[in-house]
Amino acid sequence: MTLVICVSTYNRNLSLIRCLKSINNLYVVPNIKIKIIVVDNSSKRNSFKPVKKLKKLFKYKIIQLHEKRRGIVYARNRFLKRVKKINPKFICFFDDDCVVDRFWLKNVFKIIKSTNAEIVTGPQIPLKKKSLNNLNLINYSKFFEKTYKEDTKRVNWAASNNVLLVYDIIKKHKLIFDKALNKFGVGEDQLFFSRLNNYGYKIYWSKNIKVFEAIHRHRQNLSWLIRRSFRLGVLGHYIDINIHGKLVGFVVNYLKCIFYFTKGSVNIFLFFNNEFQAQLLNYFSRFYGRLVGPFVLKKIDFFRK
List C-alpha distances in Å: 248 to 141, 173, 238, 252, 267.
30, 23, 12, 6, 29
- Dihedral, 37, 41, 45, 50 alpha carbons, nearest 10: -50
Q: Tell me, what's the pLDDT at 136?
A: 55
* Rg of the chain over all Cα atoms, to the nearest angstrom: 19
**DSSP conformation class of 182:** T
What pLDDT is recorded for position 243?
93
Per-residue pLDDT of the chain (305 residues; tens, 9 = 90+): 999 999 999 999 999 999 999 999 999 899 999 999 999 999 999 999 999 999 988 999 999 999 999 999 999 999 999 999 999 999 999 999 999 999 999 999 999 999 999 999 999 998 765 544 544 567 777 777 788 889 999 999 999 999 999 999 999 999 999 998 888 878 899 999 999 999 999 999 999 999 998 777 767 778 888 988 998 999 999 999 999 999 999 999 999 999 999 988 877 766 556 677 788 889 999 999 999 988 887 777 655 54
What is the H or E stretch that residue 194 is in? helix 188-198
Measured between alpha carbons, how far is 120 from 126 in angstroms, rounded to an integer? 20
Handedness of CA 171, 62, 7, 34 (dihedral sign): positive
pLDDT score of 12: 93
Q: What is the pTM of this model?
A: 0.91
For 95, other C-beta atoms within 10 Å of its C-beta total: 21
Q: So what's the pLDDT on residue 131?
A: 47
Return the axis-axis angle of helices 188-198 and 72-83, rounded to nearest 10°: 50
Q: First CA to last CA across the chain, in angstroms?
A: 39
How many other CB atoms sit within 10 Å of the CB of residue 91? 22
Residue 128, pLDDT score: 67
SS3 state at 252: helix
Residue 52 φ/ψ, nearest 5 degrees: -60, -40
